[in-house]
Amino acid sequence: MTSEHSVNPPADAAERQANPAIVCYSVDLLPDYDGAFYDAARATAQKIDEVTVAPRDGGTFKVPAGHFFRILSVEGSQVGDLNLWNQHDLSERFFSGKTRQLHASHVTRGDRLWSNLPGLRPMATITHDTLEWYGWDADGGGIHDVIGTRCDPYTNHMLRGVDYHYCCHSNLTRALSDATGMSLAEAEPHVHDVLNVFMCTGFTYDTHQYFMKESPVRPGDYIEFFAEIDLLGGLSACPGGSCGSTHSDDATPCYPLVVEIYKPDPDSLAGWSPQALNGYSGTHGR
Ligand SMILES: [Zn+2]
């Protein structure tokens, strides 16, 4: 039987497919990553606070602009799902899609985490990453992706027909509710697409499907950020653990994650100021 959907390629199909790939946004146009500035500031930084996020649970933390925060692996291989909000306006939050377009599918030292429209400014800059050695593996996988969204109970219910309450989406919802006094229903819409900290992911070469593989993170590894504005962070210790097998269940070993906040010597920040909101007029042609 011939499918009514069978499509014959045009005569010049190969020619059309051979058009060159063009990187959409030139990294050269982004504000420079001033490594010397961040390195000098982090050399003076002292730890002032620490938050432990329990396995299969979420937590929040505040980071003043001009401070650093680290997310650390402790006890065992564990991935985390990170949300960031403007501490004074939760409607401004991390924009994983634009961060992906501006930098890459996975982020590391020198990349920034951008906020949603209309703010579109760097919320945080990655200043150290002990997993930056990983690069790209033979499957095309990398670390710290901005392509996944977060594990959530709705997808799990749809695919497996069970209610599981400790997906990252729910962990972040409970944590934000606890931090703000909002009800779960009020807090949930503020939870957004994440930075998948320590997670090893990619797209399969043949079918371009999202895959995960066991995270290479080990206790002592960390990723460090400089807060470019006053931040409220939310972090979930994913029920997938190292994400080497299953997720959205209680079958996988899970470990805590630790967030440390560091304050640099104010003198080291001379000349720096928090990032300004995007300068577009907002008139949209009218
Ligand atoms: Zn998760």
The string of pLDDT tens digits covering residues 250-265 is: 788 999 999 999 999 9
pLDDT of amino acid 28: 81
pLDDT of amino acid 251: 80
Residue 146 CA, ligand 1 centroid: distance in Å: 13
Query: What's the rounded mean pLDDT across residues 163-175?
Result: 97
Is-contact 119 278, C-beta < 8 A? yes
Residue 150 CA, ligand 1 centroid: distance in Å: 5
Residue 10 CA, ligand 1 centroid: distance in Å: 43
Q: Is the dihedral of CA 135, 68, 261, 60 positive or negative?
A: negative
- Say if residue 40 is exposed, middle or buried (CB neighbours under 10 Å; 0-12, 13-18, 19+): middle
pLDDT of amino acid 246: 73
Per-residue model confidence as pLDDT tens digits over 40-61: 999 999 999 999 999 999 999 9
Helices 153-160 and 168-180: crossing angle in degrees, nearest 10, is 150
Q: Which residue has the tokens 């944590």?
A: 175
Q: Residue 1: pLDDT above 60?
A: no
Query: What's the rounded mean pLDDT across residues 121-141?
Result: 97
Residue 237 CA, ligand 1 centroid: distance in Å: 7
Residue 152 CA, ligand 1 centroid: distance in Å: 7
Query: Closest by alpha carbon to 118, among 86, 83, 81?
Result: 86
